[in-house]
Structure 1
Amino acid sequence: MQQTVSDKASSARPLTGRPVISATGLFTPEESISNEELVASFNEYADRFNASNAEAIEAGEIEPMPHSSVEFIEKASGIKSRHVMSKAPILDPDIMTPRIEDRGNDQISLMAEIGVIAAKQALERAGRDAKDVDAVLCAASNMQRPYPAMAIEIQQALGIEGFGFDMNVACSSATFGIQTAADYVRAGNARSVLVVSPEITSGHLNWRDRDSHFIFGDVATAVLVEDAAIAPEQHWEILSTKLKTVFSNNIRNNFGFLNRAHPESIGEPDKLFVQEGRKVFKEVVPMVAEMIIEEAEKLQMNPATLRRLWLHQANAGMNRLIAQRVLAHEANSDESPTVLDTYGNTSSAGSIIAFHQHSDDLAAGDNGLICSFGAGYSAGTVFVRKVA
């Protein structure tokens, strides 16, 4: 195989063209919102709404806004708390949205800042210097700006030569990024690629919507994908990657720069996260389970033998059913760990958080699956095997 990577990461060993995950990194915001805090804030807002619209409600012109509850949230999602970058404004019934201060163009942007923290941790865990990395992919649901690409800013902050670009496949962005990075390694076009997912999802959540106000949290993850020739002794061989998309309007966010042409529409609910939750559950669960099983069969692997599933952290019920279909039995917390309860839905970062926090205990030779799914519809699988 022709070695096309730069001399800056040269090695005595020839490239293998076999991609591996060398390490992962995680940034977690200090602030967290419990369900109890969130419900108290929402219910105060609901009471104010109902009081100010009492006459219209009495006349049957509009429906009263019902209360939320801790029991409702946990039954609907399995979420108990979520980390956020801007707690106080979210809980303020007069605001109920994060307030992030603008930064000058000479300052690092917030998404780049938290992405760099996660990336540095991944590099440190792999014993890798930033100058040895060839590319940065910023894979996340909502970018802070259209351009310059967040990935290029992260690349600059880390001191990486080479290239970077942004990609958005909603909740599947990280797994799509991992396959893209793995393909670069397979082709010999890079030997070390950072896939960084800074997810400030609190910014596109409608905190005034009872059916979804509890879903999202903020975080940043990083995955270092490298050629096996330069990987640390302990790493994860990427056995296969598989991507799938099927168009659906059941999860949607209509906000974008074209909204500026119609500023009166910016406050409309569909400019934030909206979904048809029951339809998503019904359609995505079988699609993802079938996708996993088919890919396992291509690998001549019995899916029931997978040691661990690191599934997308969006809904506990969806994960439970997908795991059951894949493993052919009710999965326990060791087989399908969750971080949803304390992180909430962190979009593309969720399955990576689960992998980051619940993978060190596996033994050499153990097989596992990183899987994400979400808006698009989009779904991505990464089958991995522990080495050393």
Structure 2
Amino acid sequence: METHVDELPTPRRVVVNAIRHSPRQGARIAGLGAHRPGRVVGNDEAAAAAGVDAQWIEQRTGVRERRYAGQAETVVSMAVEAGRSALRDAAANAAEVDTVILASCSMPSPMPNGAAQVAAALACPAAGFDLNAACSGFNHALAVADALVRAGTASGVLVVAAERMTDWVAPEDRNTGPIFADGAAGALVLPSSEPGIFPVAWGSDGAKADLIVIPGATGRMEIAGRRVFRWAANALAPVVDAACELAGIKPRDLKAFVPHQANLRIVDALAQYLDAPRLAVARDITGSGNTCAASVPLALQALRRSGEITCGDPVLLFGFGAGLTYAAQVVRCP
């Protein structure tokens, strides 16, 4: 993604819609799971395909290596593995899941939906539906799961984000090929006497929908990299502020910040805005690339696995991307 943006005008601030919780039961993330494909692709290989230098990729995106799915690793199969891992982490069984939400923008066809297939593979007696908000898909799906549990409509929601972005980008395209990658991660959401998922701050700017597209004629992603970079790095601050306010927390009280792993420069710009020196900031993009909807839960799982966050820690999750869509919420680490 090209990031020389000095000549671009500063984008207008986004509009943030915030839904406050009613005083009913809360919801929490009870378990996290992930599936990272086995094939690791370094910058030398990605650079050769894109006709650029390996250092050029790292300097402009922060990516050093990424994971590519094998032929047998589909969006659904990766989602199943991530979901199974989340159930295991929560010490829960499939019978406790009555709803499955699959966040993805890379399903190979519009029908059948993937969530129902995930539910069947895991033997969950569940309703299943897909949600496509691109790179903010996990945050949107988590907000829906939280609302379903708090309303009493669902008692156990498995939220999984899975992407095979390598099916939708051209390796030779320097703007997309070296950046996007594959993977899946998920969370089991259960009722809680105390809220572990706080209100979502979200919105969209469809007037800029043409900045990230996959035209039907080509089936390959096209992205206006510099304009998207400027929008994400400069216009999204109100979303961060709103999410913290809705959770009743100051940025300095957060233990970690997990933004969408689009570009390391964007991650660092948003982290700098939070101005919390002791904050653990997810930089999973360096080893995973941009996995769209899967990037936030993959990065969250990586922070917990490293020991940088522990059970109960307040963490700010923040997704943004094609649509253009954005969503953020504070959660407590399971």
Secondary structure of the 1:164 match is strand
Q: Does 1:179 align with 2:179?
A: no
Q: What per-residue deviation string (whole Å, max 9, x for no partner) do you get for residues 286-315 of structure 1?
A: 332221112322433222321110111110
Report the equivalent of 1:310: 258
Larger Rg: 1
User: Of 93, 99, 108, which aligns to 1:135?
Assistant: 99
What is the CA–CA distance in structure 2 between the aligned matches of 1:277 and 1:167, rounded to whole Å?
A: 24
- What's the secondary structure of 2:159's corresponding residue? strand
- 1: CA distance between counterparts of 2:49 and 2:228? 28
Find out whether 1:254 has 2:208 as its counterpart: no
Shift of 1:146: 1.3
Equivalence for 2:196 = 237
Match of 1:367 in 2: 314
- Which runs of structure 2 are paired with 1:278-317 in the superposition (5 Å)? 278-317=226-265
- CA change 1:116–1:371 in 2 (3 A) is same
Question: Deviations 1:23-59 (Å, cap 9, x if unpaired)?
Answer: 111011111111012223444xxxxxxxxxxxxxxxx
8 Å CA contact 2:258, 2:318 repeated in 1: yes
CA displacement, residues 356-377 of structure 1 (integer Å, 9 cap, x when unaligned): 1113633555321111111111
Give distance in 2, aligned partners of 1:84 and 1:160: 28
1:205 is the counterpart of 2:152: no
Counterpart of 1:79 in structure 2 is 63
| Runs of 4+ that moved beyond 6 A | none
Provide the residue aligned with 1:272 in structure 2.
220
Counterparts of residues 1-388 of structure 1 (less than 5 Å): 17-43=25-51, 68-86=52-70, 100=71, 110-228=74-192, 237-247=196-206, 248=208, 249-255=210-216, 266=217, 268=218, 271-326=219-274, 328=275, 335-359=280-304, 361=307, 362-363=309-310, 366-386=313-333
Task: Give the number of equivalent residue pairs.
Answer: 307
Identical aligned residues as a percent = 27
Give the Cα–Cα distance (whole angstroms) in 2 for the partners of residues 385 and 208 of structure 1.
40
| Residue identity opposite 1:154 in structure 2 | V
Letter matched to residue 155 of structure 1: A
Cα-Cα RMSD: 2.0
Cα distance in 1 between the residues matched to 2:162 and 2:311 = 30
**Once the 2 structures are TM-superposed, how far is the Cα of residue 114 of structure 1 from its aligned partner?**
1.4
Q: Is contact 1:79-1:340 (8 Å) kept?
A: yes
Residue identity matched to 2:224? E
Per the normalisation by structure 1, the TM-score is 0.75
Contact 1:136 1:193 in 2 (8 A): yes
| Counterpart amino acid of residue 299 in structure 2 | A
Aligned to 2:20: none
Return the alpha-carbon distance in structure 2 between the equivalents of residues 309 and 324 of structure 1: 11
Give 3-state SS (helix, strand or coil) of 2:167's partner.
Answer: helix
The aligned residue for residue 258 of structure 1 is none
Instruction: Give a deviation string over 1:118-147, Cα, whole Å, max 9, x none.
Output: 111100110101011011011111212211
* Letter in structure 1 aligned against 2:231: E
Q: Equivalent residue for 1:106?
A: none
Question: Equivalent residue of 2:198, what SS?
Answer: strand
Q: Secondary structure at the match of 2:48?
A: helix
* Cα distance change, pair 110–340 in 1 and its aligned pair in 2 (3 A): same
Q: Which runs of 5+ in 1 are unaligned?
A: 1-15, 44-67, 87-99, 102-108, 256-265
What is the TM-score of this pair, normalised by structure 2?
Answer: 0.86
- Structure 1 pair 364–33 and aligned structure 2 pair: CA distance change class (3 A): closer
Q: Distance in 2 between matches of 1:281 and 1:193?
A: 33
Q: Using CA pairs below 8 Å that are at least 6 residues apart, which structure has the higher relative contact order?
A: 2
Q: How far apart, CA to CA, are the structure 2 residues paired with 1:298 and 1:153?
A: 35
> Residues 288 and 359 (structure 1 numbering): CA distance in 2 closer, same or farther, change over 3 Å?
farther
Structure 2 residue runs of 5 or longer lacking an equivalent are 1-23
SS in 2 for 1:171: helix
Q: 1:364 to 1:142 in 2, by over 3 A?
A: closer
